[in-house]
Amino acid sequence: MPEIDNLLKSIKRIHFIGIGGSGMCPLAEILHKEGYILSGSDNNETDTLARIRALGIPVAMGQRAENIEGAEMIVYTAALLKDNPELVAAKESGIPTFERSKLLGAVTRIYPNSICISGTHGKTTSCSMLTQVLIEADFDPTAVIGGKLPLTGSNGMVGHSEHMVCEACEFVDTFLDLSPDVAVVLNIDEDHLDYFKTLENLKNSFTKFASMATKAIIYNGDDANTVEAILPALKESGKPGITFGFEKSNDYYADNISNNNEYDSFDLVRHGEKLGRVTLSIPGKHNIYNALAVIAAAMYSGVTFEQCVRGIADFHGAGRRFEKLAEIDGITIADDYAHHPRELEVTLKTAMNMGYKKVWAVFQPFTYSRTAMLFDDFVRVLQIPDRCIMTEIMGSREINTYGIYTEQLAEKIPGSVWFNTFEEVAQYAVDNAESGDLIITLGCGDIYKAAKIMIKKLKERH
């Protein structure tokens, strides 16, 4: 048994460094329900912190060594710098200290039916959709989600049943800390190559993850990389494999796909038997794959097909996943988390087919390594929209040892422009967009702030 599991049996006081983070807050809520005495710290006031404080959990603003006094365990977010004063103090004092993924792993072991959803693309949407289906079916799930679920207004929820839903992120192999009962693999694509180096290494990690499933492995039977990774996992684990996709060889497949205005609907066929019609309330063919994965996982857990249909129809997306923010003077402003070329491609093709006069993509490249390694793919997909506006690259955890800059992308993308500040980006967009246009901000950094500035400017102009 991992060290953290044993420790959780013997201690009561836990301190969270960065408790307001989207991945930290749901874990704090779960441990609070389990009876632990919690404290936390953060640097910014947010809605999340208000929710944490409403539970009676004290939160200190700013991070100082004295904040950890009395704690028997420290949990910290991976985004923390190594010289964080609380982290340094914890390590010096010998208090057991764990990164968030270790705690998430321990939490997955509390629930007899932990459904861990992995994949390069679609994790947040699929987790959110599955959580909505389970809530509406009265399955009372616990959930840890990477985006905000409008139904609950939060990144997670604390249920009182055996069911748990969580994202299983492959970044630096954190999903190997989890203990999935049901492992779901949506797709495998080249990403995080600064860590994995090769696609082969990435696929090997997915094989290890899927092999840990104690009940079943649900995977995309249409995706060659996924199939290649999962077949050895099925052999090693001896657990049943359940496939989904568009091909009729899959256990669950979509047939007779049609599009009504923005959204798709399809017949769901399971093991050759047509169960009925499913209608989505979120755009894009890629979301049919997400819905198929959700139906397979939900029905495996005991949800009826009719309950799946209702929950999926009621699901209008997760925060920052083609989220429509405003329509002012006929100009629609939306925001999306897409940051990998494949994600950008499906999002932008979806946008181009939605009947807008022009589509303006406002993209913030994220990390130098991804931009450099997938440069040609970024150039190709950023030519899909009518116009492309970019910001400088958000380096995040990296130093620019690649000598890569947005200017190099702009030189290859006809008609594109780039700016250093969100203010300039927003001003250019609102000055040039017209009624009937869509402006969509794209990226996993803080590009959503540019969308907010645009909305403010359009309201002032209006």
pLDDT digits 0-9 by tens, 260-280 = 767 999 999 999 999 999 999
* 192 confidence band (pLDDT: 50, 70, 90): confident
Give the C-alpha separation, 196 to 57, whole Å: 38
Please say if the pLDDT value at position 98 is more than 80: yes
Closest CA to 299 of 93, 46, 115, 80: 115
Please say if the pLDDT value at position 28 is more than 90: yes
pLDDT at 261: 67
Rounded average pLDDT over 219-231: 98
SS (H, E, C) 15-70: EEECCCCCCCHHHHHHHHHCCCEEEEEECCCCHHHHHHHHCCCCEEECCCHHHHCC
More confident residue, 151 or 212: 212
Instruction: Please enumerate, as own/partner, the contacts of 199-206 that have beta carbons within 8 Å and a separation of 24 or more.
Output: 199/225, 202/170, 203/228, 203/229, 204/229, 205/170, 205/173, 205/175, 205/176, 206/118, 206/170, 206/230, 206/233
> Percent of the chain beyond pLDDT 70?
100
The values of phi and psi at residue 132, to 5°, are: -60, -45
Give the C-alpha separation, 317 to 335, whole Å: 12
Please say if the pLDDT value at position 459 is more than 90: yes
pLDDT per position as a tens digit, 357-392: 999 999 999 999 999 999 999 999 999 999 999 999
Please say if the pLDDT value at position 80 is more than 90: no
Print burial letters for 231-266: b (CB count within 10 Å at least 16), e (below 16).
Answer: eebbeebebebbbbbbeeebbbbbeeeeeeeeebbb
* 194 confidence band (pLDDT: 50, 70, 90): confident
* 43 confidence band (pLDDT: 50, 70, 90): confident
80 class by beta-carbon count within 10 Å (0-12 exposed, 13-18 middle, 19+ buried): middle
Look over the chain and give the mean of its residue pLDDT values, rounded to a whole number. Answer: 95
Please give the C-alpha separations between residue 455 and each of 178, 357, 442, in angstroms, as whole numbers: 40, 19, 16
> Percent of the chain beyond pLDDT 90?
86
Give the C-alpha separation, 40 to 42, whole Å: 7
pLDDT per position as a tens digit, 412-425: 999 999 999 999 99
pLDDT at 19: 94
Give the C-alpha separation, 266 to 289, whole Å: 11
- Cα torsion angle, 226, 227, 228, 230, sign: positive
